[in-house]
Each structure stands twice: as structure tokens, then as C-alpha cells.
Homo-oligomer: A and B are copies of this chain.
Amino acid sequence: MEIAFAKSGGLVPAIVQDGRTSEVLMLGFMNAEALAETQRTREAVFFSRSRNRLWKKGESSGHVLRVLEIRIDCDADALLLRVEPLGPGVCHEGYRSCFFRRIEENGGIRTVEEQAFDPTKVYAPGTEQ
């Protein structure tokens, strides 16, 4: 079973789920090198599309994702990482999960989670997450 990196221009989406609470925390993208580095270190490494380079989650914040398990889907074109997140949250806006906003039935967008930490104390302007 070959992972279908080619199908999506070298990158596959990687869902990150908290292995204890099952909360979905974020979605990143991985190329073959990011996956290999994640497997080798058992800490999540992604490929940043905006910075066009490998990006280890927590490289500046310390909020590393310890990888408990890597799943692959039936078409081998999406990954699911079950992790133990170190730190209070994965989102650079200060939330446990990046999915802290809901699209309401009327189309409005509303924050539905509590902020977990003060991002200005963790992320200096322009630094990585």
C-alpha cells in the first residue's frame, strides 16, 4: 500500500486528533519527508504550504504533538494522527483546537470554545507555531 502523495501534488492532509479525548485539534499537510520525520521522531512534523518548508509543530512554542498512532484511510490519500498534545492547546489563537468556530445554520460564524491560553505569551510575532 503506497501513500498517494502524487495524487495531491506531493501533499496529503493529516488530521490531528487528541488520543485521550478524541477531540479533533487541527489539520496539516504532509509530504513524504514530513511523514518520515514524524515516524522517526514520533513527534508531528508537517509541510507548511505558506512557508514552503517542513514545520515541526511546537518548534517555537514547545507545544509539541507526541504521536501515539498513525492511521491511513482506505484510498491511502489521507492520514489520521492520534496524539498526546504537550501544552494547553495547538491553535496560534490560543485555543485547544483550531476548530473553535462554528458555522451557524444562518451562515454566521461564532466562537464556541473557551480560550485555553494567551497566545501573545507563547508566540512572538512572525514566529512559527
Q: Using a CB-CB cutoff of 8 Å, which residues 69-104 of chain A contact chain B?
A: 69-75, 78-80, 91-93, 95, 98-103
Contact at B26–A23, with CB atoms within 8 Å? Answer: no
Contact at B92–A39, with CB atoms within 8 Å? Answer: no
A: which residues have CB within 8 A of B?
1, 7, 13, 15, 17, 21-24, 26-27, 39, 49, 69-75, 78-80, 91-93, 95, 98-103, 105, 107, 109, 112
Given the interface pairs A73-B98, A102-B70, the reply to whether A109 lies near B13 with Cβ below 8 Å is no
Q: Complex: how many Å from CA A22 to CA B25?
A: 12
A37 CB to nearest chain B CB (Å): 14
Contact at B24–A15, with CB atoms within 8 Å? Answer: yes
Contact at A1–B99, with CB atoms within 8 Å? Answer: no
Q: For A98, what are the chain B residues with a Cβ–Cβ distance below 8 Å?
A: 73-75, 78
Given the interface pairs A24-B80, A80-B24, A103-B39, the reply to whether A109 lies near B74 with Cβ below 8 Å is no
Given the interface pairs A24-B80, A27-B13, the reply to whether A1 lies near B74 with Cβ below 8 Å is no
A66 CB to nearest chain B CB (Å): 14
From B23, B71, B103, give the contact of A102 (CB < 8 A): B71
Top 3 A-B pairs, shortest CB-CB distance: A22-B22, A71-B99, A73-B98
